Amino acid sequence: MDFARSAASSLESGVDRLLNRRITLGVTGFSGSGKTTLITSLIHQLQHYPGALLAAFPPVLQDRLLGVQLLALDGAALFPYQRGVEALSRGRWPDATRDESGCLLEIRFRNQPGLLRRGKPGISRLYLEIRDYPGEWLLDLPLLAMDYRTWCAQCHSLFNRAMCLSIGRSFIEKLKSIDPFATISELELQVLWQEQLTFLKACQQAGLTMIQPGRWLHASPSGDESKLPFIPLLSITGLSEDQWRSAAGSSLAKGFSPAEGSLLNICERHYQRYLETRVKPFYRNTFQKVDRQLVLIDVLKSLNSGREAFDDLRFALTRVLQSFDYGRNSLLRRFIQPRIDRVVFAASKIDQVLPDQHEAVRGLMANLVQDARRRAAFNAIDVRCEAVAAVRSTTYVDYQGRQALQGMTEQGPGVLLHPDIPEQIPSMDEWQALGQWQLRRLMPPEGLQLVAGGRLPHIRLDSILNDLLGDRFL
């Protein structure tokens, strides 16, 4: 019976997709970019559209939206929308995502009158499928294009940067000194792996983005990830092809015990197992079914973390966005294997700067993703850039003769000042000015009554909705 219901649901989903009645939206972004908050806000704005400010969204502006219902999504835990609105109503952000979830929004609306329609406009429906997942998982997508040796070479390059050395110089030097051909006990490898977890989490706290494996940022020493530990062997970057083949040769034979082999062989096999059991299923189930994609980028956080952190974000974005399949969404592909036909890149948390700086942030974000924009445009994909705040947490005040922001910070109410935001990659002089900026973490505005359907302030979320869905309400 479960199989029959699943088959029927898949068939219905396919028919809806074929008839343009179903869209799978991929909301993508690194950890801290605001994915979960944005999904929560998007659902709330649509469910309570009469009181929401959605002037740029045609079905609301034209009074054609009739209602939105939140439904479970087959094969996924229900997105924790209710917990999210309860948290925002208590002045807290929704909990960070630790696992996959999803939801299906049934959107009912009146058709727009047209020359081919007679009498009273009919009622249509659009199903919007949304999935949420930890942003750290996104960092692993580039691993699909790298074997273990290539990944080690990348780690060697990244770990030699000043910021990484300042965080974990002793651990990095230990990795460089390890003999890849030596045998090692399970306990010794576990100790090294746990040191690696500590180092990776410290890199994330310092503002770095390109951290792999991404799932390990949530791993615990006794969790599932500890069963197949591996580390980057930095010394193998100098191995010749003959040395590499010698190390990888007979040790891959059937029945070979990892505990009896070289450290290099153990790490290589565990790395491949990680790709097979973690990265590939995530990519296949999450990204190969996406019709439209929203990519959230916390530009301001990386800008405030300094030049090296900003360059690290650029590198991470370039590598991750290369993993997406941008191709025309033809009629047959829409039914059999959907492909992305529209992408929106959005700078998130734009309420942290004054309105006259919003365009500069959007321009800087567009510069960050220019390679991905060119690839998408080459494949005839509709590409758009935006700046958004899923929850607006600031208001405008006069402060010492100039306009400033005011909001609730972790230390209490405060006035927030910021330098001019460059529209392009900052120059050395601009980096010096930005170095004086202390970006403070904002909290949600006080007094939200979202459980009762109260208004949730935002900035340009209606423009995002129009960019992603507007053509489906014509």
Q: What is the 3-state secondary structure (H, E, C) of the chain?
A: CHHHHHHHHHHHHHHHHHCCCEEEEEEEECCCCCHHHHHHHHHHHHHCCCCCCCCCCHHHHCCCEEEEEEECCCCCCECCHHHHHHHHHCCCCCCCCCCCEEEEEEEEEECCCCCCCCCCCCEEEEEEEEEECCHHHHCCHHHHHCCHHHHHHHHHHHHCCHHHHHHHHHHHHHHHHCCCCCECCHHHHHHHHHHHHHHHHHHHHCCCCCCCCHHHHHCCCCCHHHHCCCCCCHHHHHCCHHHHHHHHCHHHCCCCCHHHCEHHHHHHHHHHHHHHHHHHHHHHHHCCCCCEEEEEECHHHHHHCCHHHHHHHHHHHHHHHCCCCECCCCHHHHHHCCCECEEEEEECCHHHCCHHHHHHHHHHHHHHCHHHHHHHHHCCCEEEEEECECCCCEEEEEECCEEEEEEEECCEEEEECCCCCCCCCCCHHHHHHHCCCCCCCECCCCCCCHHHCCCCCCECHHHHHHHHHHHHHC
- Predicted confidence (pLDDT) at residue 115 exceeds the cutoff of 50: no
- Predicted confidence (pLDDT) at residue 1 exceeds the cutoff of 50: no
- Predicted confidence (pLDDT) at residue 245 exceeds the cutoff of 80: no
**Mean pLDDT of the 325-351 span:** 71
pLDDT band at 143 (very low <50, low <70, confident <90, very high): very high
Residues 6+ away with beta carbon under 8 Å from 429: none
User: What confidence score (pLDDT) does residue 240 get?
Assistant: 72
For 10-68, write each residue's pLDDT tens digit. Answer: 445 544 454 458 999 989 899 889 999 999 999 999 999 998 999 999 999 999 999 99
For 68-112, write each residue's pLDDT tens digit. Answer: 999 999 888 999 999 999 999 999 999 988 888 999 999 999 988
pLDDT band at 377 (very low <50, low <70, confident <90, very high): confident
**Mean pLDDT of the 346-365 span:** 95
pLDDT band at 255 (very low <50, low <70, confident <90, very high): very low
pLDDT band at 144 (very low <50, low <70, confident <90, very high): very high
User: What confidence score (pLDDT) does residue 341 get?
Assistant: 84
- Predicted confidence (pLDDT) at residue 4 exceeds the cutoff of 60: no
- Predicted confidence (pLDDT) at residue 257 exceeds the cutoff of 50: no
**Mean pLDDT of the 135-163 span:** 93
User: What confidence score (pLDDT) does residue 2 get?
Assistant: 47
Q: Which of 48-57, 203-212, 322-331, 409-418 shows the lowest per-residue confidence on average (mean pLDDT)?
A: 322-331
- Predicted confidence (pLDDT) at residue 309 exceeds the cutoff of 50: yes
pLDDT band at 330 (very low <50, low <70, confident <90, very high): very low
- Predicted confidence (pLDDT) at residue 276 exceeds the cutoff of 50: yes
Angle at 70 between CA 69 and CA 74, to 5 degrees: 125
User: What confidence score (pLDDT) does residue 354 get?
Assistant: 96
For 124-134, write each residue's pLDDT tens digit. Answer: 999 999 988 89
Q: Which of 67-81, 147-161, 203-217, 361-375 shows the lowest per-residue confidence on average (mean pLDDT)?
A: 361-375
- Predicted confidence (pLDDT) at residue 145 exceeds the cutoff of 50: yes
User: What confidence score (pLDDT) does residue 7 get?
Assistant: 43
Query: Across all residues in the chain, what is the average pLDDT?
Result: 86
**Which pTM value belongs to this model?**
0.87
Q: What is the 3-state secondary structure (H, E, C) of 22-68?
A: EEEEEEEECCCCCHHHHHHHHHHHHHCCCCCCCCCCHHHHCCCEEEE
Nearest-angstrom CA–CA distance, 276 and 273:
5
User: What confidence score (pLDDT) does residue 372 get?
Assistant: 83
Task: For 291, list phi and psi in degrees, rounded to 5.
Answer: -90, -45
Q: Higher-confidence residue: 453 or 260?
A: 453
- Predicted confidence (pLDDT) at residue 376 exceeds the cutoff of 90: no
pLDDT band at 120 (very low <50, low <70, confident <90, very high): low
User: What confidence score (pLDDT) does residue 44 get?
Assistant: 96
For 408-465, write each residue's pLDDT tens digit. Answer: 998 899 999 999 999 999 999 999 989 889 899 999 999 999 988 899 999 999 999 9
User: What confidence score (pLDDT) does residue 236 get?
Assistant: 86
pLDDT band at 331 (very low <50, low <70, confident <90, very high): very low
Question: In whole angstroms, how far apart are CA 25 and each of 130, 293, 460?
Answer: 5, 6, 18
